[in-house]
Amino acid sequence: MKKSFIILLHIGFWACYVALISIMLGVYYRSSLYGSTQDSRIMNAFKTIFLFVLVPSVISYFLYYYRLFPKFLQQKKYFLSFIYGILISAAASVFAYILLRYFIETGSIRDMDKNGVNGRSTAVRVIIIMTIISSISGIVALVIKGFVTWVTEIKLKEQLTEKTHAMEMALIKSQLDPHLLFNTINNIDSLILKDAVAASDYLNKLSDIMRFILYETKGDSISLSKEIEYIDKYIALQKIRTANEQYVHFTVTGIIDNRSIAHMVFIPFIENAFKHANNKKIENAITVNIVIKEDTIQLLCENKFDPNVKVHETIGGLGNELIVKRLNLIYADRHTLEVHKTNESYRINLLIHNG
């Protein structure tokens, strides 16, 4: 939601609020203060609006909006939301009453000192009324904040769905490209006479990859074990295109457990590593390390390339621009992506905080 619209919501509420209170006070002072001068009535009305009604309401409104909602209510801590809401309103009312009592004294407050216990009980009633009024303003703040959050989440989901769809289409186009299928099937076919068992195994891997792309990437997330399984099969299929046994080095460190991750986060970077590693004869031309820790999942992916052969820029490969945008949507403030490029290697370091 645009900030300008949110600002207009705040301005609209406070304009209506002040207008309503002004009308109520205008009626009250015109009917009750016959003996006072017009200037005196205007000043008393101003003091009452500013301290008795406006100050505690403003304090409560913005504390409810910026602190209470995101820290408690949005986290579904309803009881704590209620308790802290009352405390915020009461504290704001006491603060406003102190200002009214000690800094802008009125005749009615001077009378409280003379009335003793009655004065104290009157002060308590005044604070209670102020607390109720400021609580109402706070509730309105929660409603506005809830509405803003709801609209923002809807737009975020729409953007995420759009990016996910684009990623799926790009990935399907890449994986099911006729040339890729042709080369992979040819490689498998050449293995049939040499090692029928290995050829059958690779054919099953290709089938699993196609099934994964078509059916496993429909939800918002996928189990980390399936994502790693897909990566392993993808690397295995790529390795049959070279006789170099040490062409790829793939490791997984840590305990996978039952944690999940957004699908298609790691794969585009690994695909680009194979796409740009243009020398299949060197050892460890591609290195893929997935490091799993208690609160983080890390991808370290590096590929070596011949500097004499033109290589696309960092975010120019398949899906990389989309995956960066998608990371910002899914893992906003919960991930870091570092890219290091030299004349002979290209390395990415993706760290996801998945707590």
The larger pLDDT score, comparing residue 140 to residue 306, is at 140
Q: Facing residues of 252 across strands?
A: 290
pLDDT above 90 coverage of the chain, percent? 16
pLDDT digits (tens, 9 = 90+) for 194-242: 788 888 888 888 887 777 767 666 666 888 998 898 888 888 888 877 7
State how far the alpha carbon of 334 is from the alpha carbons of 226, 263, 298, 311, in Å.
22, 16, 12, 30
The residue out of 112, 129, 155 marking a domain boundary is 155
Residue 292, pLDDT > 90, answer yes
Please report the pLDDT score of residue 254 as a whole number: 92
Residues 328 and 334: their CA atoms lie apart, in Å, by 9
Confidence of residue 347 (pLDDT cuts 50, 70, 90): very high
Whether 243 and 337 map to the same domain: the answer is yes
pLDDT digits (tens, 9 = 90+) for 104-130: 554 444 444 444 445 567 778 888 888
Confidence of residue 73 (pLDDT cuts 50, 70, 90): confident
Residue 36 lies in a domain: yes
Whether 242 and 151 map to the same domain: the answer is no
Please report the pLDDT score of residue 297 as a whole number: 94
Whether 251 and 127 map to the same domain: the answer is no
Count of domains for the chain:
2
Which domain range does residue 87 map to? Answer: 3-155
Mean pLDDT for 314-318 is 42
Please report the pLDDT score of residue 335 as a whole number: 92
Please report the pLDDT score of residue 296 as a whole number: 92
Specify the CATH number for the domain of residue 257: 3.30.565.10
Confidence of residue 161 (pLDDT cuts 50, 70, 90): confident
Whether 243 and 151 map to the same domain: the answer is no
Residue 12 lies in a domain: yes
CA dihedral 202, 208, 214, 219 (to 10 degrees): -140
Please report the pLDDT score of residue 112 as a whole number: 45
State how far the alpha carbon of 28 is from the alpha carbons of 23, 25, 44, 46, 101, in Å.
9, 5, 11, 13, 21
Mean pLDDT for 261-280 is 82
Residue whose structure tokens are 């370091």: 349
Whether 7 and 150 map to the same domain: the answer is yes
The residue out of 120, 140, 155 marking a domain boundary is 155
